[in-house]
């Protein structure tokens, strides 16, 4: 198994592995690489929907997505798609999945199924590197803070997605979400400190209004995106990406108008986060 960094502080491409057969020590090494680098990319994989589910079960628990359309025969798989005649994509802003849950998902396994001729890349940013780069006074300021996260403004019946041409594809518009997490968490496996806020789902700091929270929140969001803590994946047929939601943000680029893109995603169960 060979690991090739995608960027100085984020992402790794792993070669010499057949994911459909990965288990035991190989799976443990993959886990460790993802926990440390935030995201791992695997090329030229023959990875059927059955392989996708079997690999996720070997990893651990599966969280069935509440919002995306589900694979008809295998509901563990969420369909992340944009049709050729649609203008809005899913995930087209920096975010971390499921921060609005009391127990956020560990991460996702995303498989390329139908790609545009060009475009549709995905970006990730490493929140361990983001935290490390903060000035000490800012680290001190946020050390004891907690923040409230929700997805209601995104997915509800009158939310952001419902007002687009993609909203008709989604489910769960009547769900209510909300969770409080530390602004700085320790990774459950590595112990590394991570900045745990994001621009899509973090609403306010506990004890402060949205308006009172915005100056500091925006300062953290701006500081989180630096050139050397980001990586970018150009998808190809047979590409699989696995990422850690605690360690990274991601952003799905929407630059392939007039073309269809379909990805299959399984969400991996996580554990409670602590400061």
Domain ranges of the chain: 2-268
183: tokens are 């602004």
The label of the residue with tokens 């952001």 reads 160
Tell me how far apart the alpha carbons of residues 121 and 123 are, in angstroms, rounded to a whole number.
7
> For the whole model, what pTM was predicted?
0.95
Mean pLDDT over 138-163 rounds to: 91
Per-residue pLDDT, 164: 85
Per-residue pLDDT, 163: 82
Helix, strand, coil percentages (3-state) for the chain, rounded to 5, are 25, 25, 50
- Rounded to the nearest 10 degrees, what angle do helices 49-59 and 24-37 cross at? 80
Indicate whether 228 pLDDT > 90. Answer: no
Indicate whether 128 pLDDT > 90. Answer: yes
Per-residue pLDDT reduced to its tens digit, 258-272: 999 999 999 999 999
What is the Rg, in whole angstroms, of the alpha carbon atoms belonging to the chain?
18
Indicate whether 227 pLDDT > 90. Answer: no
Which H helix or E strand runs over 179?
A: strand 179-182
Kindly state the percentage of the chain with pLDDT values over 70. 100
155 compared with 63, residue with greater pLDDT: 63
Indicate whether 162 pLDDT > 90. Answer: no
Per-residue pLDDT, 55: 98
99: tokens are 């921060």
Does the domain made of 2-268 have the CATH classification 3.40.1370.10? no
Per-residue pLDDT, 58: 97
Mean pLDDT, all residues of the chain: 95
């Amino acid at each position: 198994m060979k690991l090739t960094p995608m960027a100085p502080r984020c992402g790794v491409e792993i070669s010499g592995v057949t994911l459909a057969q990965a288990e035991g020590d190989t799976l443990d090494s993959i886990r460790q690489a993802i926990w440390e680098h935030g995201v791992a990319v695997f090329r030229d994989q023959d990875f059927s929907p059955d392989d996708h589910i079997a690999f996720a079960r070997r990893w651990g628990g599966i969280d069935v997505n509440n919002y995306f359309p589900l694979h008809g025969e295998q509901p563990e798989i969420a369909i992340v798609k944009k049709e050729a005649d649609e203008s809005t994509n899913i995930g087209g802003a920096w975010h971390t999945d499921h921060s609005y849950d009391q127990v956020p998902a560990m991460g996702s396994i995303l498989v390329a199924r139908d790609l545009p001729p060009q475009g549709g890349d995905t970006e990730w940013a490493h929140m361990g590197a983001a935290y490390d780069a903060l000035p000490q006074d800012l680290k001190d300021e946020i050390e004891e803070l907690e923040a409230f996260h929700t997805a209601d403004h995104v997915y509800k019946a009158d939310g952001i997605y419902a007002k687009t041409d993609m909203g008709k594809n989604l489910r769960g518009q009547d769900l209510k979400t909300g969770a409080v997490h530390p602004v700085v968490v320790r990774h459950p496996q590595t112990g590394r400190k991570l900045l745990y806020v994001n621009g899509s789902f973090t609403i306010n700091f506990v004890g402060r209004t949205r308006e009172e929270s915005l100056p500091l929140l925006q300062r953290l969001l701006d500081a989180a995106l630096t050139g050397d803590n980001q990586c970018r994946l150009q998808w190809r047929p047979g590409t699989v990406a696995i990422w850690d939601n605690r360690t990274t943000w991601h952003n799905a680029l929407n630059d392939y108008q007039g073309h269809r893109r379909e990805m299959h995603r399984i969400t991996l169960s996580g554990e409670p986060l602590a400061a």
